[in-house]
Amino acid sequence: MTKQHITSNKNIGFGSRFRSLAALALVGALALSACGSDDEATDDTVAEEVTTDVASDVCPSQEIVDAAVAEAKVNLIALPDNWANYKGILASFREKHPEIENPVANPDASSADELVAVETLAGQETQPDALDVSPAIAQEVDSKDLWEPYKPCTWDEIPDFLKDADGKWVAAYYGIMAIGTNTTVVKTAPESFADLAKPEYKGLVSLNGDPREAGSAFNAVVAASLANGGSFDDIMPGIQYFADLKASGNLAGTDVTEASVIAGETPIWLDWTYNYPGLAPKLVENGITWAIRVPTDGVHGGYYAQGVVKGGPNNNAAKLWIEHIVSDEGALGYLEGGAIPARFEALVAAGKVSEEAKANLPAPELIAQIKFPTQDQIAKMKEALATNWGPMVADK
Amino acid sequence: MRLGRFIAWLVVGVVALFYVVPMIAMTRFAFQRIPVIKLSLGNVFDKWTVAPLFESFTESEFRSSATLSLMLAVATALLTLVLLVPTMAIAHLRSPRMRRLIELSATLPFVVPAIALVVGFAGTFRETLPILIRSSFGLVPLYVVTALPFTHRTIENGLAALDLRTLVNASRSLGASWTRTMIFVIAPNIRASIATASFLAFTVVLGEFTIASLLLKNTLPLYLAYAQGRNPQGAFAVGIVLIIVSTIFVALSNRLGKVVRA
Amino acid sequence: MASSLGQRTRHLAFLPYAVFLFIFLIWPGLYVFRQALNQSAGERNPMIEAVTGQYRSSFIFSLQLSFISSAIGLVIGSAVAIAIMQLADVRGLRNILVGYSSVAANMGGIPLAFAFLAAFGMQGLATRLLKEINIDIIGWGFKISDFWGIVLVYLYFQIPLMTLVLVPALDGLRRTWAEAAQSLGATVSQYWRFIALPILTPAILGGFLLLVANAFAAYATAYALSSGGSKLVPVQIRFFLQGETITGKSNLGYALAAWMVIITAMLVAGFQVMTRRAERWRQ
């Protein structure tokens, strides 16, 4: 998935240990309205691949469910507990399908590591069955023909820009780039990219990784670009912004980790909105107050893509996993973690989103502003970044 | 030699201080729940907690990953010694050219990126010997390679300090076979090197992250790295304990195997 | 010298090591070169691009950091090793120091970087304590994430590494030689200059080489400490091979790795030449 970091911890989410009773109740209530299964006679339990009939009104088909139960496991990778509340989503999957285990290997892996694992472990029973990767890596997985197309039951309720047209992957959640401030160390929280450049924040601003490597940092540069007259076709204003920030001394060198946030070494940092709720318990325990602000001048959202690995050892269980993350339970799980689920509109319309669940989210007007760049735009921005970030920012 | 001793103590003192200060800072962070900015003489003794230690040590994942890493460490140390000591001893005795080649080959693991090692390893054995990839012990040869620069250098220095030819000649002329010579003559004389090499192999394995993470094996460093993300104070608490325990372990082992100087 | 090993047996003895290395090091290493020479259409040869422009600066920076931290580590680490021998009669001192050195030599990455941040960062414990006695290191411009801050952190594993490789060599310096020298009327400095140092030179040089190669390949610590660490070549390699942002340029990453192999090989060869000269004296 994400968090990109050299050795290990990449993002700054903490152990999200809270599971509100409301969410539990919601899950229970919604389980009744979940996709019902047909009463078809089941096949002999052989873990064969079953093709999906998209037009079928039985969803997910009993064959898939039975085959998945026979597989009894889905190998997952790179899903940290405190990233968009995966802890809760993994648990709700186990409640829905108690016979299917869902172990997570290498939770701090980057998206690229996930691809390496799929290729290295091809044919092994530990090969990952389903992935959660950045858009760029999703593209690479596609170019290596490693996605198994699968359209989950709720396909139609997922907006077009959050899924692959051929069903190779879905984007079950997305977030917005936000500024986090440790207000115990820094009294006034900055509210915009323009604020970050103020002299009072000298030496205090950090990125979550290097943009040439980390999805979060890269998207922070894109957001800065949008705030400074750039667009998805032009990331240079963003690079220039950070070059200026570094020259003025505002951009600190230290990398952002949970530890550095608690220690107060990185009092101001940029990260996805869904990475902040997980931090809360630790910050409270250490007597630290904090503030999260979506920059007023640059609103930028980003998603991660999930899909089934072609030829994986537990193909059908993987399909059920994908079903789960875009299901109501999955969506509400993401909400709890501060991410915006793909079917947010549909869920709100159906009245399934409680006020409490909305508490972790940015304001609806902000959500409405979000657009995502196309794969081409992403590719071009990355080229520009790879060529210019070093000479303009990192090496100075 | 009073000046000599004084300088020696000075050096040891300064370096020890340098070693200890960051560890103290990390320990305080791990066990005290107050940010430095709010620290004052008044609350220096407040909000200390050992809870993180107990949380970590009772997690079953911790125990299983620690056991795995320990076994891998022992296996790596053994394989390293079996592979290196005879080979290097013979190189020292017979072939300076081989000795230099070995030196070159033993420094290369530094610069072959772990990912290349893994991809090459997986590519080679995927079809032929998949058990090497499936089993966690497939990590051992890769770890031996990773530790090679350190282990080789220690044994090299130990062997170089000996008058190997005389030793071996004496032993052979007394009728000992090569194996006996190796085990009963050469090895005891490089006891310090063997011990150090083993410890280095040990600590390399207990610290190696990239290879295990790419092959999805649940070793202790992986567990700790993840714990640092999820629960940094707890993870650093465990880290500090591991550092102390490892130090004591190595110190004690050294004592047991110490060469008594006449 | 009775050659009880025939030519063939002699070479046979190296077979296990050679085979082992081939399978687990050489072959994957060749993979690096194969990928590095893999040129996509319309792009420059990755091997050439890897040493131009920003990558050339990266190599220079990496080598600077390696040599400087190793030079300082050499001096201090050797001093510690000698001190340990000097104080050999102090019970337990050697064991504790060797013990901690074994552990510290392998420290790095986030824990080490964080320990230094926790001590000397802006909100560091030592920083705070020093401020209480009116020494404001941050005000003086000290930043742990600067070049010299990174050197300081590197020393944390360079010094113990040097100590560890030198102590066994010092063990080999037999007491008898020191006593013999003394009885022949040599002074302490003469003893060191003409007997001890020449014998120790290969070990010291070898240790220095190890330190340089160790620092050259290290990246996790610098990266965790400072975005300036991203100038280092291994970090760049990781961006290409394991990063999320830059995709499809793995050939350049492998090319960088290939150059690292070449440079390291050159370093080793250089040291071997120097060592041979030193050893000639010994014979």
**Residues C203-215: tens digit of each pLDDT:** 888 889 889 988 9
pLDDT the model gives residue C6: 60
Nearest Cα of chain C lies from the Cα of B70 at a distance, in angstroms, of 15
> How many Å apart are CA A265 and CA C283, to the nearest integer?
56
Distances B208 to A76, A317, B211, B221, C172 between C-alpha atoms, Å: 23, 32, 7, 6, 31
Domain at A175-301+372-394: CATH architecture: 3-Layer(aba) Sandwich (3.40)
- Residue from B31, B101, B112, B128 whose CB has the most chain C CBs within 10 Å, to mutate: B112
| Stretch A252-269: mean pLDDT | 87
Q: Do C242 and A116 touch (CB under 8 A)?
A: yes
Confidence of residue C44 (pLDDT cuts 50, 70, 90): confident
CATH number of the domain residue B154 falls in: 1.10.3720.10
Nearest Cα of chain B lies from the Cα of A158 at a distance, in angstroms, of 31
Across the interface, which of B28, B110, B190 has its CB nearest the CB of C214? B110
Across the interface, which of C110, C227, C244 has its CB nearest the CB of A7? C110
pLDDT the model gives residue A192: 92
| Beta strands at A301-309 and A147-148: parallel, antiparallel or unpaired | antiparallel
> What HEC string does A70-104 produce?
HHCECCEECCCCCCCCHHHHHHHHHHHCCCCECCE
Q: How many CB atoms lie within 10 A of CB B172?
A: 16
Question: Tokens in use for C121?
Answer: 């960062």
Determine contact, residues A358/A335, Cβ cutoff 8 Å. Answer: yes
Half-sphere exposure of A76 (CA within 13 A, CB side): 28
List beta partners, residue A77.
A105
| Stretch A245-264: mean pLDDT | 87
List beta partners, residue A206.
A269
Residues 111-140 of chain C with CB under 8 A from chain B are 111-112, 114-116, 118-120, 123-126, 128
The answer to the question of residue B34 being in a domain is no
Q: Could you give the number of structural domains in chain B? A: 1
Contacts of C248 in chain A (CB under 8 A): 140
pLDDT in tens, A11-64: 222 222 323 333 333 333 333 333 333 333 334 344 444 444 444 457 788 889
Chain B and chain C share a number of CB contacts under 8 A equal to 289
What is the per-residue DSSP string for B192-254? Answer: HHHHHHHHHHHHHHHH--HHHHHTT---HHHHHHHHHHH-HHHHHHHHHHHHHHHHHHHHHHH
Nearest Cα of chain A lies from the Cα of C252 at a distance, in angstroms, of 12
Nearest Cα of chain B lies from the Cα of A180 at a distance, in angstroms, of 17
pLDDT in tens, A180-196: 999 998 999 999 999 99
- Residue from B223, B231, B240 whose CB has the most chain A CBs within 10 Å, to mutate: B231
Q: Do A9 and C110 touch (CB under 8 A)?
A: yes
A312/C190: higher pLDDT: A312
Q: Where are the domains of chain A?
A: 21-158+311-358, 175-301+372-394
Determine contact, residues C36/C46, Cβ cutoff 8 Å. Answer: yes
**Strand (E) or helix (H) holding A244:** helix A236-247
The answer to the question of residue B176 being in a domain is yes
- Residue from C9, C14, C195 whose CB has the most chain B CBs within 10 Å, to mutate: C14
The answer to the question of residue B216 being in a domain is yes
pLDDT in tens, B84-119: 998 998 888 888 888 888 988 888 887 777 777 887
**Range in A326-330, A336-340, C44-48, C277-281 the model is least confident about:** C277-281
Query: What chains are in contact with A, requiring at least 3 Cβ pairs below 8 Å?
Result: B, C
Q: What's chain A's Rg over C-alpha atoms?
A: 21
Asked if the model's pLDDT at residue C186 lies above 80, the reply is no
Determine contact, residues C260/C248, Cβ cutoff 8 Å. Answer: no
Asked if the model's pLDDT at residue A79 lies above 80, the reply is yes
Distances C214 to A56, A175, B144, C63 between C-alpha atoms, Å: 60, 40, 16, 11
> How many Å apart are CA C155 and CA C148, to the nearest integer?
10
Q: Do A210 and C230 touch (CB under 8 A)?
A: yes
Across the interface, which of A121, A259, A285 has its CB nearest the CB of B33? A285
Contacts of C109 in chain B (CB under 8 A): 207, 209
Asked if the model's pLDDT at residue C263 lies above 80, the reply is yes
Query: What chains are in contact with B, requiring at least 3 Cβ pairs below 8 Å?
Result: A, C
Question: Tokens in use for A129?
Answer: 């069955």
The answer to the question of residue B7 being in a domain is no
Q: Which amino acid is at C106?
A: N
- For tokens 């047991």, name the residue: B256
Q: How many CB atoms lie within 10 A of CB C40?
A: 11
| Stretch A201-213: mean pLDDT | 87
pLDDT the model gives residue A45: 40
Q: Where are the domains of chain C?
A: 14-282
What is the per-residue DSSP string for C188-227? Answer: HHHHIIIIIHHHHHHHHHHHHHHHHHHHHH--HHHHHH-G
pLDDT in tens, A90-126: 999 999 999 999 999 888 888 888 998 999 888 888 8
| Nearest of A128, A201, A139 to residue A169 by alpha carbon | A139
Domain C14-282: top CATH class: mainly alpha
| Stretch A253-268: mean pLDDT | 87
Evaluate the CA torsion angle A201, A208, C232, C38 in order and state its sign.
negative
Question: Tokens in use for B70?
Answer: 């320990």
Q: Do B249 and C268 touch (CB under 8 A)?
A: no
- Residue from C143, C245, C254 whose CB has the most chain A CBs within 10 Å, to mutate: C245
Q: Do B228 and A257 touch (CB under 8 A)?
A: yes
Highest mean pLDDT among A313-322, B94-103, B190-199, C4-13: A313-322
pLDDT in tens, A122-155: 888 889 999 999 888 898 899 999 999 999 999 9
The answer to the question of residue B33 being in a domain is no
Helix (H, G, I), strand (E, B) or coil at A181: strand
C31/A308: higher pLDDT: A308
Taking CA–CA distances from C244, the nearest residue in chain A reads A213
Give residues with Cβ within 8 angstroms of B101, minimum separation 6.
Answer: none
Determine contact, residues C81/C162, Cβ cutoff 8 Å. Answer: yes
Tell me, what's the ipTM?
0.84
Determine contact, residues B229/A10, Cβ cutoff 8 Å. Answer: yes
Contacts of A121 in chain B (CB under 8 A): 122, 133, 215-216
| Nearest of A2, A23, A122 to residue A352 by alpha carbon | A23
**A21-158+311-358: in CATH 3.40.50.2000:** no
Sites in chain B below the pLDDT cut of 50: 259-262
